[in-house]
């Protein structure tokens, strides 16, 4: 829509959509049907009008800032502290606010950020997916009084496992979920990955030796196969569910002794060794899951509930799910990753006396081609997430 009459529009409303459920432009982006109408009563936020249904809405509609009396700066700073791993109580002490307020804001932000992830992460063309699960309570292992196997046995009954899946090429965190160490959780993680990838895309899966991954992978990346008849007479053999021909899956088994890595063995479960090597060689790698382990380290640093080894272990699941949703967006869109940076064709001079800027910072989402810039947390929280999938065209 372009309008020949009236004052020229100066406010960009492209990122907004009409929230009215019965408007014919409801949830649609890019039709130019919104008009900014200034700041009513001198409020900090703009009001927008939909020229189709004439309804008014705030530019913060559907975000954490909507209807809050606290300043936007305070909310952004509180969420930033949580994203950097300070924990709910620590953050509450820093800003001298009630811990319940912090938790409330975290829950609201997490809801918005889950929609944010869903809006951006879809139809991905992935070559590899690394799967891992890490335990959220570490005190028993750290003390050295129980063996790792015994600790895992003990912890397997607790629900504090964080399941992660990432694309090692772009470092995009595809899934971070908390749950028990069970087949059902393996299915939940693989189900999420199956929803994210483009139709027909079958990535190479790498995991540790955990037995429940294989049925979950085959369940989501398999197909019915009709076996050929062996005899001319009698009923035809029943179709069987088999892994797709393109499916590759390898396990990396590490032997640790006194917390030192002594041996890395790998086992190709689906596909051939040559095919696995070919996918990895395209990136110049040998078989490994070290990238996920680097991710686990930053998870521990940034998600207070999984937390530091010295601090009190997490006792309840309060906020862990929400902190993971926050971590996922923070990792994918906000944090520039050192290994992803690109050399600038023309080095940019800095304003001061410092040396020239030679690198372009990149986030995993930029490496995966989902966005073109490094997002700030404020920008993420202000983003009004349009519905995904978008409503059909008019
Ligand atoms: Zn409307």
Q: Which residues hold their Cβ within 5 A of ligand 1, which is an ion?
A: 18, 20, 23, 25, 50, 52-53
11-40 pLDDT tens trace = 888 888 888 888 888 888 877 778 888 888
Q: How much distance in Å is there from the Cα of 36 to the middle of ligand 1?
A: 13
Cis peptide before 311 (omega within 30 of 0): no
Work out the percent of the chain whose per-residue pLDDT is above 90: 29
Q: How much distance in Å is there from the Cα of 61 to the middle of ligand 1?
A: 13
Are 240 and 224 in contact by the 8 Å Cβ rule? The answer is: yes
Q: How much distance in Å is there from the Cα of 1 to the middle of ligand 1?
A: 13
At 382, give phi and psi (nearest 5°): -85, -10
Q: How much distance in Å is there from the Cα of 40 to the middle of ligand 1?
A: 19
User: E strand or H helix at 326, and its extent?
Assistant: helix 320-329
251-288 pLDDT tens trace = 888 777 777 766 777 888 988 888 888 888 777 666 55
Cβ-count burial 267-293 (b if 16+ within 10 Å, e if not): ebbbbeeebbeebbeeeeeebbbebbe
Q: How much distance in Å is there from the Cα of 26 to the middle of ligand 1?
A: 6
Q: How much distance in Å is there from the Cα of 56 to the middle of ligand 1?
A: 8
Lowest mean per-residue pLDDT among 104-118, 299-313, 326-340: 299-313
Q: How much distance in Å is there from the Cα of 3 to the middle of ligand 1?
A: 16
Q: Please give the average per-residue pLDDT across 289-308, as a whole number.
A: 66
Are 302 and 330 in contact by the 8 Å Cβ rule? The answer is: yes
What is the structure's pLDDT at 139?
A: 36
Q: What separation, in Å, do the N-terminal and C-terminal C-alpha atoms of the chain show?
A: 13
Q: How much distance in Å is there from the Cα of 46 to the middle of ligand 1?
A: 16
pTM: 0.83
Q: How much distance in Å is there from the Cα of 13 to the middle of ligand 1?
A: 13
Q: How much distance in Å is there from the Cα of 34 to the middle of ligand 1?
A: 8
The closest of 156, 151, 110 to 133, measured between CA atoms, is 156
Q: Are strands 260-270 and 240-243 parallel, antiparallel or unpaired?
A: unpaired
CA-CA distance, 209 to 371, in Å (whole number)? 35
């Amino acid at each position: 829509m372009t309008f020949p009459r009236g004052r020229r529009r100066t406010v960009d409303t492209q990122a907004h959509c009409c929230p009215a459920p019965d408007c014919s432009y409801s949830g649609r982006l890019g039709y130019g049907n919104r008009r900014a109408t200034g700041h009513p009563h001198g409020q900090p936020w703009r009001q927008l009008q939909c020229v189709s249904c004439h309804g008014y809405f705030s530019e913060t509609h559907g975000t954490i800032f909507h209807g809050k009396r606290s300043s936007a700066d305070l909310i952004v700073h509180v969420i930033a502290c949580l994203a950097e791993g300070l924990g709910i109580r620590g953050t509450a002490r820093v800003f001298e606010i009630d811990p319940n307020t912090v938790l409330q804001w975290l829950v609201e932000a997490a809801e918005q950020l889950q929609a944010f992830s869903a809006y951006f992460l879809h139809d991905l063309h992935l070559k590899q997916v690394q799967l891992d699960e890490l335990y959220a309570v570490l005190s028993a292992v750290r003390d050295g009084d129980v063996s790792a196997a015994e600790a895992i046995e003990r912890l397997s009954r607790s629900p504090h496992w964080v399941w992660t899946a990432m694309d090692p090429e772009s470092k995009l965190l595809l899934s971070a979920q908390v749950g028990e160490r069970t087949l059902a959780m393996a299915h939940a993680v693989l189900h999420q990955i199956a929803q994210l990838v483009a139709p027909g895309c079958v990535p190479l899966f790498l995991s540790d030796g955990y037995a429940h991954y294989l049925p979950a992978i085959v369940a989501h990346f398999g197909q019915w196969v009709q076996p050929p008849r062996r005899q001319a007479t009698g009923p035809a053999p029943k179709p069987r569910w088999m892994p797709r021909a393109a499916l590759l899956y390898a396990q990396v088994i590490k032997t640790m002794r006194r917390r030192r890595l002594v041996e890395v063995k790998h086992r190709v479960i689906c596909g051939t060794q040559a095919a696995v090597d070919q996918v990895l060689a395209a990136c110049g790698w040998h078989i490994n899951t070290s990238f996920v382990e680097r991710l686990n380290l930053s998870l521990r640093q940034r998600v207070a509930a999984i937390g530091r080894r010295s601090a009190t272990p997490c006792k309840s699941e309060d906020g862990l799910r929400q902190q993971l949703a926050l971590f996922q967006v923070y990792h994918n869109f906000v944090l520039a990753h050192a290994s992803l940076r690109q050399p600038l064709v023309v080095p940019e001079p800095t304003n001061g006396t410092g040396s020239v800027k030679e690198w372009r910072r990149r986030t995993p989402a930029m490496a995966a081609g989902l966005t073109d810039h490094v997002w700030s947390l404020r920008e993420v929280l202000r983003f009004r997430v349009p519905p995904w999938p978008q409503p059909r065209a008019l």
